[in-house]
Amino acid sequence: MAPLVGIIMGSDSDLPTMQGAIAVCEEFGVDTEVAIISAHRTPERMVEYAKSAHQRGIKVIIAGAGGAAHLPGMVASLTPLPVIGVPVPSRHLQGVDSLYSIVQMPAGIPVATVAIGNAKNAGLLAVQILATHQAELLNKVQQYRQTLSESVMAKQEKLEEVGYEEYLRQMQSAE
């Protein structure tokens, strides 16, 4: 089956962060393609990728970038597809520079942006976008949300049962 989500990053050093998006897509059974495409070092490759993605069946692009973080915005300017930007934490500014770069897009060129380093949410957002036209995927998203709710309720029940001090001790000993 052709991939529906393109997961791209500016450098292989971004892969540990972007793994979260890949894992979520795999969990939901959404096929992906993963590529290293640098806005600065391989600009022609970036242009070709962005312009051809929709013709190859890609429906959503997740673009991770650190530092100057131009990849998500540049790709968004070249494709009709939704682009989700993932600010990758950097050594010097912890990803704040990337976040600012990605969210400061001019009017007309939107890039949905998740929290610094939170590629998992980018994967979930991509899945939710696809689910708007796929009933089976929508059901999986609803089940996932139900599981999240049940997890929180189980934690609340345990907190009530053992009290906050014991709950906190158990949390700290699990670390």
User: pLDDT tens digits for 53-109?
Assistant: 999 999 999 999 988 789 999 999 999 999 999 999 988 899 999 999 999 999 999
pLDDT in tens, 154-163: 999 999 999 9
Q: Are the C-beta atoms of 59 and 37 separated by less than 8 Å?
A: no
pLDDT on residue 41: 94
Q: Looking at residues 13-21, what average pLDDT do you find?
A: 97
Tokens (6 digits) for 38: 């640098």
Q: Are the C-beta atoms of 89 and 38 separated by less than 8 Å?
A: no
Which residue ranges are tagged as binding site? 11, 14, 41
Strands (E), 12-93: 32-36, 60-65, 83-87
Q: How far apart are CA 30 and CA 79, in angstroms?
A: 21
What average pLDDT is seen over the chain? 96
pLDDT for 11 beyond 90: yes
Which residue ranges are tagged as binding site for substrate? 11, 14, 41
Share of the chain above pLDDT 70, in %: 100
pLDDT in tens, 107-137: 999 999 999 999 999 999 999 999 999 999 9
